[in-house]
Amino acid sequence: MATDSTPHANRKVTLADIAAGCDVSRATVSLVLRGSPLVNKLTRARVEEELRRQGYVYNRAAANLRRRTSSSIALVLNDLANPFFAEFATGVDEALGGGGYVTLLGSTGESVTREQAVLGSLLEHDPAGVILSPAEGSDAGQVLRTIGVRTPLLLFNRELAGKVSPDAPWDRLMLDNQRGARLATEHLIALGQKRIAFFGGHAASSSCQQRHAGYVEAMKAAGLRIEPHWRIECAPNRVDAAAQCGALFFESPAPTAAVCYNDAVALGLMLGLYQRGIQPGRDFAVTGFDDIAEAGLSAPPLTTLASTPRARGKQAAELLLQRLREPQAEPQRIVVPVQLVVRGSSCPPATA
């Protein structure tokens, strides 16, 4: 219980402690911390030694308050547990860390209510910007009202619902969903498939609409019919996809192939097919979307579209940091092309 003036004490070490410890003013210590060239070399050395000795930890919140800056970015995701978004988040966090920012995380579990709560809570921490992959049905007006116009927003993956002026005041990073689904559909058609379903996803989600549009586009271009019961909705996960599989076969003519909303749905569908005695890759062709790690390792390996989520995360972070540097630049809408990854085994040619 010595009362040494050294480290510890049950308070955090502050600038004032360092200043007192080496007989300079707080201003000088601050200049040392911020790397100012004004400070004398010897003074700097003394201060730095004292910082180390007392185990000083910079209080960035205080500095941000004084400087009216922010060193955090809010990352709000509709489903962090989904590997696609986990990869995305990893990419975001890597790039933000490189830029000196810290990630404030929020996962909304696809609930618009939670999204509002999470955004509200994170905004109280004054992030420099927000990266948002909205929950399904998330409304543009609501989101804008809680984010305000002062905090730059980067929208990822999905558009917001509700009418928005075409020059919405935020940046967007989207996958080329329509083109991707068109490529997948064309691939099946080239294999001679004719009765092709579009399976999974919710019709309400913009990415699902776009993928469906790409499918329709390819079918029309090839002069192929689309039966109403070839459009089955389901939650974008394996379990629900497996459960909905049967709906494809309630009516005739049954499809012999399906363009799936995403890989999770495709893997679930394959499972459901197996359970009904239909062997995917032999009796039925399946394509996915996302190229998650499992896609190449499933049995059979899945033909799909690569969207490289970690690289998208990096890109999203960089776009937002760019926006912080140039707040006045025109809002951007970047559409990332996706690439068809053909793994033959999930897509047999049509049996005559």
Partner DNA sequence: CTGAAAGCGCTTACAG
- Enumerate binding residues for DNA (CB under 7 A): 11-12, 14-16, 23-28, 30-31, 33-34, 38-43, 58-59, 62-63, 65-68
Shortest spacing between CB 145 and DNA, in angstroms: 18
In the complex, the smallest distance separating the C-beta of residue 33 from DNA, rounded to whole angstroms, is 5
CB 291 → a copy of itself: shortest distance, Å?
14
Interaction site with a copy of itself (CB under 8 A)? 12, 55, 57-62, 64-65, 71-72, 75, 80-83, 85-87, 89-90, 93-94, 97, 100, 102-107, 109, 117-118, 121-126, 148, 150, 238, 242, 267-268, 271, 274, 293-294, 297-299, 310
Question: Between residues 31 and 76, which has the closer beta carbon with respect to DNA?
Answer: 31
- Three-state secondary structure readout of the chain: CCCCCCCCCCCCCCHHHHHHHCCCCHHHHHHHHCCCCCCCHHHHHHHHHHHHHHCCCCCHHHHHHHHCCCCEEEEEECCCCCHHHHHHHHHHHHHHHHCCCEEEEEECCCCHHHHHHHHHHHHCCCCCEEEEECCCCCEHHHHHHHHCCCCCEEEECCCCECCCCCCCCCEEEEECHHHHHHHHHHHHHHCCCCCEEEECECCCCHHHHHHHHHHHHHHHHCCCCCCHHHEECECCCHHHHHHHHHHHHCCCCCCCEEEECCHHHHHHHHHHHHHCCCCECCCEEEECCECCHHHHCCCCCCEEEECCHHHHHHHHHHHHHHHHHCCCCCCCEEEECCEEECCHHHCCCCCC
**Which option in a copy of itself, DNA, none does residue 310 bind, with CB closer than 5 to 8 A by kind?**
a copy of itself
Give me the least distance between CB of 68 and DNA, in Å please: 6
Structure tokens at 226: 């689309």
Minimum distance from residue 43 beta carbon to DNA (Å): 3
State the binding partner of 87 from a copy of itself, DNA, none, CB within 5 to 8 A by kind: a copy of itself
Question: Which does residue 118 bind out of DNA, a copy of itself, none, counting CB within 5 to 8 angstroms by kind?
Answer: a copy of itself
5 contact, one of DNA, a copy of itself, none, CB 5-8 Å limit per kind: none
- Residue closer to DNA (CB basis): 45 or 221: 45
Contacts of 276 (CB under 8 A, 6+ apart): 245, 246, 249
Amino acid at 286: V
- Tokens representing 349? 């040619």
Query: Which residue's CB is nearer to DNA, number 33 or number 335?
Result: 33
Residue closer to DNA (CB basis): 26 or 53: 26
267 binds, among a copy of itself, DNA, none (CB under 5 to 8 A by kind): a copy of itself
Q: 117 or 213: whose CB is closer to a copy of itself?
A: 117
Min dist CB 10 to DNA, Å, is: 11
- Which of a copy of itself, DNA, none does residue 269 bind to, with CB < 5 to 8 Å depending on kind? none
**Selection from 178, 179, 160 nearest residue 169 by Cα:** 160
d(CA 285, CA 302): 10
Minimum Å gap between C-beta 44 and a copy of itself is: 20
Q: How far apart are CA 94 and CA 293, in angstroms?
A: 20
Residue closer to DNA, measured from CB, 74 or 319: 74
Nearer to a copy of itself, 46 or 238 (CB): 238
Nearer to DNA among residue 46 and residue 212 (C-beta): 46
30 contact choice in a copy of itself, DNA, none (CB below 5 to 8 Å, kind-dependent): DNA
Partner in contact with 25, chosen from DNA, a copy of itself, none, beta carbon below 5 to 8 Å by kind:
DNA
Partner interacting with residue 352 (select from a copy of itself, DNA, none; CB below 5-8 Å by kind): none
Q: What are phi and psi of 179, to 5 degrees?
A: -65, -40
